[in-house]
Amino acid sequence: MSASTEQIDDILEKKYDAGFVTDIEEEYAPPGLSEDIVAFISNKKQEPEWLLEWRLKAYRRWLEMKEPTWAKVSYPKIDYQEMCYYAAPKTNEDAPKSLDEVDPELLATYEKLGIPLHEREILAGVAVDAVFDSVSVATTFRDKLAEVGVIFMPFSEAVKEHPELIRKYLGSVVPVSDNFFSALNSAVFSDGSVVYVPKGVRCPMELSTYFRINAANTGQFERTLIVADEGSYVSYLEGCTAPMRDENQLHAAVVELVAHKDAQIKYSTVQNWYPGDENGKGGIFNFVTKRGLCEGARSKISWTQVETGSAITWKYPSCILRGDDSIGEFYSVALSNHRQQADTGTKMIHLGKNTRSTIISKGISAGHGHQTYRGGVKISRGATNARNYTQCDSLLIGDKCAAHTVPYVDVRNSSSKLEHEATTSRIGEDQLFYCRQRGLSEEDAVSLIVNGFAKQVLKELPMEFAVEAQKLLGVSLEGAVG
Amino acid sequence: MLKIENLHVEVDGKPILKGIDLEVGVGQVHALMGPNGSGKSTLSYVLAGRDGYDVTKGRVLYKGKDLLEMAPELRAAEGLFLGFQYPVAIPGVSNIYFLKAALNAIRAHRGEEPLDAIDFMKLSKEKAALVELPDELTKRAVNDGFSGGEKKRNEIFQMAILEPSLAVLDETDSGLDIDALKVVAKGVNAMRSPERSMLVITHYQRLLDHIVPDVVHVLIDGRIVRSGDKDLAKQLEEKGYSEVRDAPQL
Residue A273, pLDDT score: 76
CA distance to partner chain A, nearest, from residue B5 (Å)? 23
Kindly tell me if the per-residue pLDDT of A108 is higher than 70.
Answer: no
Domain extent listing, chain B: 2-246
**Interchain contact, A441 vs B73, CB within 8 Å:** yes
Number of neighbouring beta carbons within 10 Å of residue A351: 20
Q: Per-residue confidence at B155, pLDDT binned at 50, 70, 90? A: very high
Residue A49, pLDDT score: 94
CA distance to partner chain A, nearest, from residue B74 (Å)? 7
- Phi/psi at A189 (5° precision): -55, 140
Please report residues of A whose CB lies closer than 8 A to that of B84. Answer: 434, 437
Residue from A436, A444, A457, A459 to probe the interface with B (highest B Cβ count within 10 Å):
A436
Measured between CA atoms, the residue of chain A closest to residue B163 is A438
Residue A130, pLDDT score: 27
Is A423's Cβ below 8 Å from some Cβ in B? Answer: no
Kindly tell me if the per-residue pLDDT of A100 is higher than 80.
Answer: no
* Diameter over CA atoms, chain A: 76
Kindly tell me if the per-residue pLDDT of A26 is higher than 50.
Answer: no
**Interchain contact, A437 vs B48, CB within 8 Å:** yes
pLDDT tens profile A361-411: 999 998 899 999 999 999 999 999 999 999 999 999 888 899 999 999 999
Q: Which candidate from B75, B92, B101 shows the least CB-CB separation from A444?
A: B101
Is A452's Cβ below 8 Å from some Cβ in B? Answer: yes
Q: At what angle do helices A442-458 and B95-109 cross, to 10 degrees?
A: 150
CA distance to partner chain B, nearest, from residue A397 (Å)? 15
Q: Does domain B2-246 have CATH number 3.40.50.300?
A: yes
Amino acid A138 reads A
Q: Which candidate from A439, A444, A453 shows the least CB-CB separation from B92?
A: A453
pLDDT tens profile A202-250: 998 888 765 333 333 334 788 899 999 999 999 998 875 444 444 667 8
Residue A133, pLDDT score: 33
Hey, which residues 371-400 in chain A have their CB within 8 Å of chain B?
none
Residue A115, pLDDT score: 58
- Region A311-332: mean pLDDT is 95
Give buried/exposed letters for B173-185 (b at 16+ CB in 10 A, else e). Answer: bbebeeebbebbb
Is A438's Cβ below 8 Å from some Cβ in B? Answer: yes
Q: Per-residue confidence at A127, pLDDT binned at 50, 70, 90? A: very low
Please report residues of B whose CB lies closer than 8 A to that of A466. Answer: none
Question: Which residues of A239-355 form beta strands (DSSP E)?
Answer: 249-251, 254-259, 264-271, 284-294, 300-307, 312-315, 318-321, 327-336, 341-350
Q: What is the bridge-based pairing of β-strands B54-62 and B2-11?
A: antiparallel
In whole angstroms, give the CA distance from residue A102 to residue A124.
7
Which comes out higher in pLDDT, residue B245 or A204? A204
Interface contacts A/B by beta carbons within 8 Å = 74
pLDDT tens profile B214-238: 999 999 999 999 999 988 888 888 8
* Separation in Å, CA A100 to CA A104, A134, B233: 8, 21, 69
pTM of the entire predicted model = 0.81
**Interchain contact, A428 vs B72, CB within 8 Å:** no
Kindly tell me if the per-residue pLDDT of B198 is higher than 50.
Answer: yes
Residue A196, pLDDT score: 96
In whole angstroms, give the CA distance from residue B17 to residue B19.
6
Give the helix/strand (H/E) hosting A224: strand A223-228
* Separation in Å, CA A174 to CA A110, A159, A319: 35, 18, 11
